[in-house]
Structure 1
Amino acid sequence: MKIKLYTNWPIMKYWVNKTFMVMRMTIIIMLLSVTQLLAVESYSQNTRISLNVDNQSVKEVLDKIQNQSDFFFMFNSKIVDVERKVNIKAGNEKISFVLGKLFAGTDIAYTVIDKQIVLFSTHSIQQQQQKKKLTGRVTDDKGIPLPGASVVIQGSTEGVITTVDGTFTINVPENAKTLSVSFIGMKKQNVDIGDRVSFEIVLEPLIVGLNDVVVIGYGTQKKANLTGAVGGIDPNVIKNRPVSNIGLALQGEIPGLTVSISSGRSTATPTLNIRGFTSLNGGSPLIIIDGIPSDADAFARLSVNDVESISTLMDAASAAIYGARAAYGVILVTTKKGEGTGIKVTYNAHFDFRRPNNIPKFMTDQDTALMLRVQGTGTWYSLADIYGSNDLDYLHKVTKGLAPMVRLNPDNNKYWQYAGRTNWFEEACNNYGISQRHDVAVSGTSGKASYYFSAGYYDQDGIFKYGNDVLGRYSLRGKVDIQAADWLTFSNNTSYSLDNYNQPSQGINMNSLFSTSTLDVPKNPDGTWTSSGASVLGSLQEGGRSISNTGAFNTIFTMKGEFFKKLLTVTGRASFSRTSYDYRTYSVPIYYETGPNLPLGVLNPTTSAEHDASSTNQNVYDVFADVDKSFNKHHFHYLLGYNQDYWYSDSFSAYRQNLISTSVPSIQLGTGVPTVGEDIKDYATRSVFTRFSYDYDQKYLFEMNGRDDGTSRFPKNDRYGFFPSVSLGWNIAREKFFTPFTQYLNVLKPRFSYGNLGNQDVGYYSYLSTMGNGKTSSLLNGPTYDQQLSIYAPGLVSGSLTWEKVRTTNYGLDLAALNNRLSATFEYYQRATTDILTKSKTLPSVLGTTEPQANAAASITKGWELTLTWHDKFKLSNSDFKYNVRFAISDSRAWITSYDNPDGKLSDYFKGYEIGTIYGFVSKGLFQTPAELANHANQSSFWSYPGYTVPGPGDIKFEDLNGDGVIKAGTTIKDMEDTKIIGNSRIRYPASVRVDLEWKGFDLSAFFQGVLKRDYYPTDNYFWNIYQSPWTNIQQYVFDNMWTPTNTGAYMPKIKGYAASYWSGAEMLQYNTRYLQNASYVRLKNLTMGYTLPNSLTKRLKIQTVRVYFSGENLLTWTGIKNPNLDPETLGADYPMQRTYVVGLNINF
């Protein structure tokens, strides 16, 4: 059956045409920018200098040139006499004219590379003739050439700089012994010359630790000067991870950031959480991509190869600049831009092979399965003796291969009879799924312009043989920055992505694979579906398709002006985003046969088609000004800005049954009554924000942030709120009195912050009293039985709804020791949330309506985070062996501090309740004898089937905590009866360990991630199997571990149908200590081995670097869960987690 996607519907044509109109305009602008980029003159040729100097030193002249331009001088003061007094006048002259006059009559020459000028000494021809020529190449530790690196003969006055490809040629005296090689941001290296004439020199980055620059709200800042809690990760660490979503790659990498996933499906979006429980209404971190608020789906579609940096703002001090939407943290993402010299091309590819994890093993032996089914014969809860003696003989013959698995039923030969041994998961699924990713990027600078263009493609096949699901993702990104004048820069950043997901319209129900009897078979001898085969496999292959397309377009225009010698910077930014979603699905009947001459049965007998379409538009405008001033040891920075954001969403859905044809499954071909719906919503915010920071000699640090937010989500009189924060820091290691200790302790910086934030994520129109409409549930109007149109009475609303308020206090400590080889960061915080939007106080029932929402609850969250890092190197076979070990762990707990539940009902929140608390019974094991049962408290209120309450040997035994002789569940905190607190479902102590090794081009990285404490009580078929669904297949684990009179020490109780059903009172779903699972786990999340080809080889190929690597994801898992069929992350998902094996390639040209 061919699947076709038709795109000629009016709604789809509208958004496609509109989207591509905006894209065409943006592409035209970008092409014009690139045209200008390629034609522009270099900075050194276009910049003019004016000087009027009398009797001043060369150094003073060079400083004046740097102050009125972007030129940067590099020289050796032992070579260049910078104290020499000169007189020079120049009026709007090129730099070549000025330097020619400045060094006239000397042996000083210069080389200009864009904005960098290197001064060096020349010698006579006679001297040159006595020297030998050396050549070489300078790269970083990843093999990338370093243009502009300084190569100087140690002890002499001669030096050169490397060219664009990192190469150099230098003439040295015959007696020269050492070359000194240096580059900004790299460790200086001295290289012995000896008899060599060719060199491959690798410079290592400086370990600057807390002096790294990190991205913060509306700017950047050195780590050394940070006073708030800011986390981050180098994207290079995760760029080769085989995940469909960048959020998954962050799991365990940043302490305090919890990433959880409930499904292994390629389109599943992980849940991101910063610092634990947020609000009763939930609360996720604000995601900012290139300065623009985005959502988790936009983050998921982002290619990791386009990412330059990822930062997390954890506390109120660092997040306050974003105000109302940053109450529960911020994730800042900055994408790459063009930099360096020349053109750089990168290509990244990987191919993945994925196998499902935690697939249950089932009983497939006919005799064993049958005996399990009939072992309870004679008791009402048995699975019933559905096979007679003739059937048993038949099953024995099938087991021995003496009879077919399908025959005509001898008792009624109209019907088929089955005696299969079908593993439905193996029947439905392939051994592995395949995916691939390709990313290519072109970047560089040319004169006054820089550019970055990238394209990406990701394709992932699902794991099913029948009606497989397939994800295709395409992405484009382009950035252009143009220096229109010395003080003015224009930028455009445009991206587009398209996700196409094609899957069976009946859905992929893993539970059906685990619950269909192994005695059934997929198809009859004549090739028709059996009833089970149609339900499990036919629905996937023939039941219809669902196809969704998500297109996301975003363009950002930025203009930045620098004034008063860069004292003042003013930035204006406008962003326009549109996300369009189109979903089409149709359902058709699936036919099956129960006997060779019987009419065909049918599943999904009613054909139907559905079309959903939506579009979301967001326009964001920012204007902000920075003032940055330093004098002596004082440094001030002030930021003032304005933000405006408008968000609009429109969705439409249509559904119709009884299609006259399924060859083109369209709603128009339906004859049933159409169902149509539409949903429109919007909101707007306006904000003024400010930041003031000060530091003295980078020792004493102070920062204040504030944001005045207004939102349309609240009544007019309560729309605005001001949210301030303050933070302090002290770099103790920079104090003079600390100097004796710096040889051991290089950094010691305590920090403190306090701030208020607001939360506006409480619904779009919660303050309005609205009336719904629909059809009545009663049949009216006599014999016509019409369901009449009705308007629903509005509910009560509060006229004073306002912000949820979040106060955060944070204490932090940064330290580095042993020459910065050991570093650590520790955070402790308290986050109090008040005015939580929830139900108001209980109203009299005679009012006839429910309570309105009100700001009527409060909570507090307490937690901590710790990161430890050790990095070092040693010599192994005359080569550096580098290693890095990083350990991260965090924890948080939360309590309700105010809530209207005076009786303390356990079914609701109450004051003092700890979020995630599990109440349950204490189990004393399983009953073993009737005598033990007779002497126990009355436990008859629980049953395995409605009406049956008699426990027996092999059933669970609960402890009578209050001693009243009756086992009962508590209802209030004051009357717990026989229940107590037995666990907590919240994630505790998420932790990770990363180990990175490098040696002679080889690299190895191992990443372990886990949760060290979590309780979970199972409620579904993945765990309970036949106890929940008695007509299901049987897990090998359940069979091996169930109680029998000869296996009294078993973990599982005796077989009882429906003992774990969802009916109220089912005994196995009474939470208890015996079956409460320890859901902690440690997982080898990723193992990567790579090799970078030697420079000597890639240089001949005219390639900068080539790296090949092999990687594995979710390779090993250790968990406390008893049943091996449960994955500790998803805890029973609709789509299994997968173990992934990858081969990849990185090339830089």
Structure 2
Amino acid sequence: MDNIMKCTPLGEQKSLWLRKTLLIMKFFVLFLLLGTIPCWAGVAYSQNVKMSLDMENTTVHDVINAIEKKGEFYFTYNLNQINVNRKVSIKVENKTINQILDQLFSKSGIDYKIENRHIVLYKQAASEVEAVKQQKSINGIVADEQGEPIIGASVLEKGTTNGTITDLDGRFTLSIGKGTELIVSYVGYTTKTVKIGNQSTIKIVLIEDTKTLDEVVVIGYGTQKKSDVSGSVTSVSGDKLSKIPTANAEMALQGMAPGLSVNFGSGAAGSSATLQVRGVTSWKDDDGENSESNGPLVIIDGVPGNMSYLNPEDIKSISVLKDAATAAIYGSRSAAGVILIETHRGTMNSAPKITFSGYWGLSAVPKRLEVCNSAEFIKVRKMALINAGTDESRWPKYISEYERDPSQFADTDWQKEYYQRGFTQKYNIGYTAGSANSNVSLSAFYSKTDGVTIATGDEKFGFRLNSDVTRGKFKMGESVSYSRWSADLESNSGFSSIYQVTNMEPLAFLYDENNDGGYGGAISGMGMSDAGNQVAFNKLIDNTSSNDYIAASGYLQYEPIKGLIVKFNASRNMYFGKSRLFKPTYEIGAAKRNTMASLSESRSQTTNDLLELTANYDKTIAEKHNLSLLLGLSQEENKYEDLSASGSDFENNSMSLMGHAKSNYSVGGTKTRSALRSLFGRVNYNYMMRYMIMASFRYDGSSRFAKGNKWGFFPSVSLGWNIANEPFWENLKETVSMFKFRLSYGALGNQNIGLYRYIPTLSYNNHALNYPFDGRETSMGYAITAFPSSDIKWETTVYKNIGVDISLWNNKLELSAEAYIKNTSDMLSSRNISLATGYNSSILVNDGKLRTTGFEMQAIYHGKAGGLKYDLDLNLSHYKSVLKSMANPDYLYEYGALRTYVGGEIGEFWVYQTAGIFQNQAEVDEWNTAHGYKDQNGNWQPLQPVAKPGDIRFIDQNGDGMLDTNDRVKVGSGTPKVSLGFNINLAYKDFDLVANFYGDFGAKRYNYTKYQLERMDHVFNYGKNALNAWTPENPDTDIPRAVSGDPNKNSRTSTRFVENGDYLRLNNLQIGYNLPVKYCKKMGLSNLRIYVGATRLFTITNYKGYDPSTGSSVGQMGYDYAAIPLSRDFMMGLKFGF
């Protein structure tokens, strides 16, 4: 009791530390807000407030008084300088204070400055007055090709910083010099330059931009024009992701980028996706797989982060770096690819804007498996017992009792009771603003999703603050975010929840008020088995988890000379994890009892600190040579610690705190620390956008390796040639605007080997380490049980990539294709060592090799037909990963029907091959006469000695006369041959439609659920297929006979359970309506969009299991281990701004 009570203050201390950290973060955010308010508060008020004035032949003083009364402004001026008795006439309607003051003091020699509500009037210098006399006021409207006003378009006087933005009507007023030019721009439209003559009013029409060559993509530590990229990068805009309603940013990415695999192991509450870039990168034989080594590095606003905690609405763009040329700048962390994420930031000289979006929906599983009801279960069970020759006196009592009186049993549809129709909701609110030298973006979100299974669900909320301030040659800014995730998770007795739900006997009752807990199960005295009442487990067991994520980063940037930018960046990311599992006492039927309550709790904290210093120099020489140089230093430190405790034997189920436990105490904890220090650089050069070369390197030093192996050097180079910019291509330019070849080569490292592999580690609390010191008792001891692997070094992946990019017909059609090879060497592999060393273990060496090959293609078409605009995006990808060598040439990793071995593909299905069903005893005898072997006594041993008519015939592949694991054959892989994404965006007048398809082709799936429902060696429920089992009267079936105990092992791992895993799914469908601007204006809004949609609306597949897309981890791809399927969701939502 004392030991466990000591644990409680530790947990409180951790919680107190978290509260203190959150409090510090709150003050930090408050400080940042207070620091940035002066930069944009004036803009926030002065540009939001509009007023109307109609005053004839009055004084400036009277106008000032009117403004102060209407707009809560107050003026300061020197009466000796400002003639407020000057007669004026002014008539304005719904104008900003800037527009009113410009008109009031036009050509008067008076200027003004606005700080929030404070307006200072002052006399211009003589030179300024002369400049004012040379100016004129221009009024205009900016519209699109359909005549709709464009809100927020930038209007800038060429060669100056004098500018404004259009209002809700697309109108603007600007004082400009005579004979000047205006530059008008807006996102998604081509920038237009207009020369102003004598006119005082003007209408400017912007044309939608279909040109993508000058699109800027994010690369490591910078940006680059898409036309200049010579490496492999795929970009996805945040606008596309925002049309996919989800609280999970990873889920929105599926099918959006070729080469990026987004897989889901389960649809259960709290489940996350598995991301892979271009297949498998590493294989660790000591744990079967290493997800850390095969998952891409995620960088959010320049800092390593976690996409699971990111609000999709905050994303501005995502770039996927897929080859060494683009990823090498991140060195040892980037062997499996890099995902760069930019979040929304405010823009300079932009009016304050508030946006809100929300959606609401219902979710449910798309299908349920067909299982037997009570009467059908009794029928199959009887048939199995009869075929097994079991004497009726040994039959379970429930069979005769059911036939005598079925009313004493239930007929429970366990899937119906277990699955629920969940409600989901999500809300986002954002604010952006910008002044001449600063900008700010602030957002917050909340989401709550009910799980598709009873008593489960998760909840998320968080906020993000981004701001930037420019002062002369200095620029500084920060990003601060906080998010929290909490979930009520699945609870079960140790088996898969789906296994228990589908296999639970329908005879059992869901509820039983006589049981402890009130739930039913196997009926006492009836001889019933009990797979488990999963509804009861979910309801009674408290299984919760939560994570808090805090990320804070800031930068200071200095430009000492034109083109040279020196930047310092510092960040800290913190994760706080918490879990609780309380199993109360309960009695769920005759077979499921828990007589002693137990509790397990854990707390964890991860801290990632990063300091970076970079210098970037950009120079254009003679308008032909474009040069960009980057040099940087980086220092990263990662710390982790956790604390866990468990106990049992509580006084009652209401007393469920750890301090209430009375026995079986256990306390554990871990603390680790690692660091990475790096020097990196890059040279980027292109000549007239024809010839491109990019070379980069990273020199990483990691604490995970022993002295002498800590440092690794990872270089890369890429070349590009855009033939379309050659002089001889000029006549083809209108048809083919870009024809670019790309070639890249480079090496990347991998430090994910574990933290202390090179240090001898001690073991404790091992019964083999008991030492008898006094002849009567044994004392626990410490001993070095693992041989240190001090010589292990960096795992290295060498990439080779070749690609081509083509743009046709003024970039309406964009085509790209590329092929790649990545060879991973020096992978960790176990080698056995002699027992003479004193170690009963193996040693890790760098002997493993892996080879992944693949190709990708993408076609994007931007089109118009009348009033219809459309974008079509089709992408295809393929990869194959083969294990080339390990320290043990006979290495074999098995997971059920899956195998990974030297020379084979990662995750192949190896199963017994079936050859139909024996129809009569003559076929059995003939088969066993032809197949078998003679034992040492010369006696014939048939291949299937206990086979009977109705049993499955299995093939002896090696002809040794025995059926064993050597007779398994390869029947495919869980890795698809081709993955497809097809994305459609349509817009017609005020309506729009988005459809996102995704599919996998050429993959196999092992249907473990089918195995459970058709096997005869258990006594639980069956699938309805079992009703079609072989009988002499029903010979035309592929379901073997029902026989208790399954003597012929018909349910062994075989081709019977391997199915075609091809599928094509409509992942997302959304239809929206955008309210015309003129109606939005009447409501005080700048825009309003409402929509209805559905996710996973349909799936085209022949797969008989729940979901062909589950089973996603490396080495276990395609193994459908009775996972909860992904939900189908119907929802409606809206988005508006003002």
Scaled by the length of structure 2, what TM-score is found?
0.81
Paired position in structure 2 for 1:772: 763
Provide the residue aligned with 1:147 in structure 2.
153
The SS at the match of 1:531 is coil
The answer as to 2:503 corresponding to 1:494 is no
SS of aligned partner of 1:872: strand
Q: Tell me which amino acid in the other structure corresponds to 2:452.
A: I
Does residue 1095 of structure 2 align to residue 1109 of structure 1? no
The residue type paired with residue 875 of structure 2 is A
User: Which residue does 2:742 correspond to in 1?
Assistant: 751
Q: Is it true that 1:429 corresponds to 2:419 in the alignment?
A: yes
Task: Map Cα deviations across residues 936-994 of structure 1 (whole Å, 9 max, x no partner).
Answer: 257789xxxxx995112222223344555554542xxxxxxx44432122232111111
The answer as to 2:353 corresponding to 1:344 is yes
Contact 1:41–1:448 at 8 Å: present in 2 too? no
Residues 1051-1066 of structure 1 aligned to structure 2 (within 5 Å):
1051-1057=1038-1044, 1059=1046, 1066=1049
1:616-635 map, 5 Å? 616-632=606-622, 633-635=624-626
SS in 1 for 2:761: coil
Give the equivalent residue in structure 1 for 2:1002. Answer: 1013
The 1:238/1:522 distance shift into structure 2, 3 A limit, reads same
Moved more, 93-102 or 678-687: 93-102
Cα drift, residue 895 of structure 1: 1.9
Deviation of the 1:232 alpha carbon: 1.7
The corresponding residue for 1:569 is 565
Q: Are 1:1145 and 2:1131 counterparts? A: no
SS of structure 2 residue aligned to 1:320? helix
Amino acid of the structure 2 residue aligned with 1:623: L
Q: Does the 8 A contact of 2:328 with 2:715 survive in 1?
A: yes
Contact 1:690 1:705 in 2 (8 A): yes
Distance 1:901 1:800, change over 3 A: closer
Aligned match of 1:454 in 443, 449, 455?
A: 443
1:641 alignment partner in structure 2: 632
Pick one of 15, 29, 39 that aligns with 1:37. Answer: 39
Residues 1:40 and 1:266: Cα distance change in structure 2 (over 3 Å): same
User: Residue 586 of structure 2 contacts residue 594 of structure 2 at CA under 8 Å; is this kept in 1?
Assistant: yes
Distance, in Å, in 2 between the alignment partners of 1:811 and 1:859 is 20
Go from structure 1 to structure 2 and tell me whether the alpha carbon gap of 1:230 and 1:1105 turns closer, same or farther (over 3 Å shift).
same
Does the 8 Å contact 1:143/1:202 carry over to 2?
no
- Preserved contact between residue 387 and residue 1044 of structure 2 (Cα < 8 Å): no
Distance 1:1070 1:222, change over 3 A: same
CA 1:151–1:1050 in structure 2 vs 1: closer, same or farther (change >3 Å)? farther
Contact 1:580 1:615 (8 Å CA) reproduced: yes
Aligned partner letter, 1:954: G
Rounded Cα–Cα distance in structure 2 between residues aligned with 1:380 and 1:137: 82
Secondary structure at the aligned position of 1:1085 is classed as: strand
Separation of aligned partners in 2, 1:342 and 1:363: 64
User: Against the structure 1 CA distance between its residues 144 and 1029, is the aligned structure 2 distance closer, same or farther, given a 3 Å change threshold?
Assistant: farther
Distance 1:163 1:18, change over 3 A: same
Aligned partners of 2:269 and 2:489 also within 8 Å? no
- CA offsets 1:515-567 (integer angstroms, 9 cap, x no match): 111122223486853334994156336533133221111110111111213x2
CA distance in 1, matches of 2:702, 2:712: 9
CA distances 1:742-799 after superposition (whole Å, capped 9, x unpaired): 2322210000000011100111111111011015279998999977423243222232
Question: 2:68 matched to which residue of 1?
Answer: none
Alpha carbons 2:247, 2:426 under 8 Å: kept: no
Q: Which residue identity does 1:540 align to in structure 2?
A: F
> 1:53 matched to which residue of 2?
none
- Residue in 2 aligned with 1:1035? 1023
State the partner residue of 1:176. Answer: none
Whether 1:307 aligns to 2:315 is: yes
Distance 1:322 1:782, change over 3 A: closer
The one-letter code of the counterpart of 1:470 is G
- Counterpart contact for 2:611–2:634, Cα < 8 Å: yes
CA distance in 2, matches of 1:247, 1:735: 41
Rounded to whole Å, the distance in 2 between the matches of 1:765 and 1:898 is: 25
User: Residues 832 and 841 of structure 2 are in contact (CA less than 8 Å); yes or no, is this contact kept in structure 1?
Assistant: no
Cα deviations by residue, 1:416-446 (Å, 9 ceiling, x for unpaired): xx2x22101112332x100100000011112
Letter matched to residue 830 of structure 2: K
1:469 is matched with 456
Please tell me the residue identity of whatever aligns with 1:628: D
SS at match of 2:729: helix
- 1-structure distance, mates of 2:472, 2:785: 61
Question: Residue 733 of structure 1 contacts residue 742 of structure 1 at CA under 8 Å; is this kept in 2?
Answer: yes
Compared with structure 1, are the counterparts of its residues 211 and 182 closer, same or farther at alpha carbon in structure 2 (3 Å cutoff)? closer
Query: Offset of 1:855 from its aligned partner?
Result: 0.4
- In structure 1, distance between residues paired with 2:1092 and 2:762: 59
What residue is the counterpart of 1:361 in the other structure? 370
Identity of aligned residues (%): 26
Distance 2:223 2:148 in 1: 26
Deviations 1:176-220 (A, max 9, x none): xxx9987576247999xxxxx999998453112232101100000
Q: Tell me the equivalent position of 1:510.
A: 498
Match of 1:328 in 2: 336
Query: Structure 1, residues 1106-1140: CA drift from partner, whole Å, max 9, x if none?
Result: 0011111111112232x244544342444332111
Following the alignment from structure 2 to structure 1, what is the Cα–Cα distance between the partners of residues 651 and 770? 29
RMSD over equivalenced CA pairs, Å: 3.7
Give the AA of the match of 1:287. Answer: V
1:15 corresponds to: 17
1:689–1:706: 8 Å Cα contact kept in structure 2? yes
**Contact persistence 2:769–2:781 (CA under 8 A):** no
| Superposed displacement of residue 1078, structure 1 | 1.0
Does the CA-based 8 Å contact 1:1027-1:1057 persist in structure 2?
no
Give the secondary structure class of the aligned counterpart of 2:379: helix
1:578 paired with 2:567, answer no
- Tell me whether 1:237 sits opposite 2:264 in the alignment: no
Measured at CA, do residues 779 and 721 of structure 1 come closer, stay the same or move farther in structure 2, by a change above 3 Å?
closer
In the alignment, is the contact (CA less than 8 A) between 2:545 and 2:578 conserved in 1? Answer: yes
Contact conserved, 1:649 with 1:681, CA < 8 A, in 2?
yes
**Cα separation, partners in 2 of 1:904 and 1:1107, compared to 1, 3 Å:** closer
Q: Which residue of 1 aligns with 2:1066?
A: 1084
Q: Measure how far apart 1:587 and its partner are.
A: 1.7
2:716 corresponds to: 725
Q: How big is the shift at 1:359?
A: 1.5
Show CA shifts across 1:809-857 (max 9, x none): 1001100112211111111111011111111366578965222001011
Of the three residues 529, 533, 538, the one matched with 1:536 is 533
User: Paired residue for 1:735, among 723, 726, 731?
Assistant: 726
Structure 1 residue 472: Cα displacement: 1.5
State yes or no: 1:884 paired with 2:871: yes
Query: What's the TM-score once normalised by structure 1's chain length?
Result: 0.81
Task: Say if 1:588 and 1:900 are closer, same or farther in 2 by CA, change over 3 A.
Answer: same
Alpha-carbon separation, structure 2, partners of 1:701 and 1:39: 45
1:287 aligns with 2:282: no
Query: How far apart are residue 97 of structure 1 and its match?
Result: 7.2
Alpha-carbon contact 1:19-1:578 (below 8 Å) kept: no
CA apart distance, 1:707: 0.5
Provide structure 1 residue ranges, at least 5 long, that are not aligned to the other structure: 1-5, 45-92, 111-119, 121-132, 153-158, 172-178, 192-196, 399-404, 407-417, 595-600, 942-946, 971-977
Correspondence for 1:805: 796
Would the alpha carbon gap of residues 846 and 440 (structure 1) be closer, same or farther in structure 2, given more than 3 Å must change?
Answer: closer
- Note closer, same or farther for the CA distance 1:751–1:472 as it changes in structure 2 (3 Å cut): same
Using the alignment, how far apart are the partners of 1:392 and 1:151 within structure 2? 94
User: Does the 8 A contact of 1:838 with 1:857 survive in 2?
Assistant: yes
Matched residue type, 2:378: L
Q: Distance in 1 between matches of 2:318 and 2:362?
A: 28
1:554-703 pair list within 5 angstroms: 554-565=551-562, 567-592=563-588, 603-632=593-622, 633-703=624-694
| Displacement after TM superposition at 1:611 (Å) | 2.0
Amino acid aligned to 1:654? A
| 8 A contact 1:577–1:619 mirrored in 2 | yes
